[in-house]
Every structure is written in C-alpha cells, then in structure tokens.
Amino acid sequence: MNPPIVIAIDGTSASGKSTNAKLVARALGYVYVDTGAMYRTLAWHCLRHRVDVEDPKAVAAACRRWNTSLECVDGRVRLLVDGYCPEPEIRTAETSAAVPHVAAVPKVREWMKKRQRECVRFGNLVMEGRDIGTHVFPETDYKFYLDASLHERTKRRHADGVPEDLASRDQRDSQRAAAPLMIALGARVINNSEMTAEQTSGLIIEEVRQRLGGS
C-alpha cells in the first residue's frame, strides 16, 4: 500500500496559501490542513490562560501541558483543545498579534511538527504553512511556494480587513531560528501577483495530476 501523498504549499503572508490549498484539496479529494490555525490555537490557549506569549519558556511549558486531539471533519483537519475547536476565537486581532511570538519558540515548532506529521492518518493531504516543505514534510515530492509583491499582499490583507505590517512579518518569519520561512529544495515557486486564485490553484492541480499520471 502506497503511503499518503502530501502536497506542501508554503509561502509568505497573504500569498493565497489558504485559498489555494482549499481549492487544490477540493479538486483532488484530499484532506486540507491549515497549520497556521494550529499555531493560532496555541496562541489563543496561551492568552486564555494568561500565559505571557513573549516568554518562550512559559509558552513551551503551556504547549507541553495542554490537552489536544486531532480530528478530520468534512475533509479538514482540526486541532481540538479539551475537546473544543476554537474557530472565531483564533481569528481575533489579539490572537493574530500573539501568533508570531508563539510560532518562534523552537519547542513549539517541534511539538507542531509531530502533530502535523500525524495528519497522514487521515489520508492524502494538502498542507499549507511556512515550513511544510522544509521542515514538516521535507521528503514530499509535491512542494509549492507561493509569493506575491508586497504591494499586492498588503492590498489583499486590507481587503480582508486585517491591517498588518507584512514587511516586518516577512522578516520575522525568515529570520527566526526555528524552521525559518524559506523556499524548499525542489519547490515550484509561483508568483501570483497578477493571478486569480483559480489560476494559481489550477497550476498546482495540473502539475500534481500530470506527475501522478506519470508515476
């Protein structure tokens, strides 16, 4: 029996990772995994329990102790805390501001890598994030890196009603010590500044289908 296929979609903030990963997963019938939501869930958990998100040791301790489980519902993997999946809570401005601090903790990234690799038990995956092809599933043959101009990405963020200093976020993501944002070896880079989500996802779907057909 062949092991599950993992399609890794990495990239910068507002490069369309989530939208395109969902479109690719739907088209191929794969399970969608939003790794950013997992970090957001930990950030929410820390805020809820008054853990100082700027204290790496405190965050690492909280990550060791929290009670979590994975479930797959409607083709999407969710991380539950004490049996509860926080959906709107992890999208607040307060949680968003805490995420970069939490995500930079090496022990947190180790914990997340283990949980994210466990997702293959649900079948073939489309997993999006910032370190999937470089750190979580470096062995996968299906790696994509999405990017767009800073101007275009900023425009997309504002359209979503989320003002964010993307230049600073890019710098933090690429310079952190643990699993920094970088283009994975062998990844196809897609700059979608002038492309729609359908065009971007179409490129990924076409390449995956061609390669699967030739395997």
Q: What is the CATH number of the domain that holds 212?
A: 3.40.50.300
CA distance 108 to 58: 11
CA distance 177 to 190: 25
Please answer whether residues 147 and 15 qualify as being in contact, where contact means their C-beta atoms are separated by less than 8 angstroms: yes
Averages of pLDDT over runs of 10 residues in the chain (215 residues) are 93 90 98 97 98 98 98 97 96 91 95 98 97 96 94 83 72 73 92 94 97 77
Nearest-5° Cα angle at 192, 156 to 181: 80
Q: Is 72 helix (H, G, I), strand (E, B) or coil?
A: strand
In sequence order, the 6+-apart residues with CB closer than 8 A to the CB of 7 are 24, 28, 30, 124, 125, 126, 127, 140, 142, 144, 204, 208
User: What residue numbers bound the domain in which 80 lies?
Assistant: 35-122
Query: Of 75, 103, 122, at which residue does a domain stop?
Result: 122
Regarding whether 144 and 71 lie in a shared domain, the answer is no
* Residue 137 C-beta-side C-alpha neighbours within 13 Å: 29
Q: Which pLDDT belongs to residue 214? A: 63
Regarding whether 211 and 179 lie in a shared domain, the answer is yes
Query: Of 122, 148, 173, at which residue does a domain stop?
Result: 122
Domains in the chain, number = 2
Amino acid at 48: R
Which residue, 147, 151, 112, 148, is CA-closest to 132?
112
Q: Which pLDDT belongs to residue 162? A: 67
Regarding whether 90 and 153 lie in a shared domain, the answer is no
Match 């963020």 to its residue by tokens.
157
CA distance 203 to 181: 22
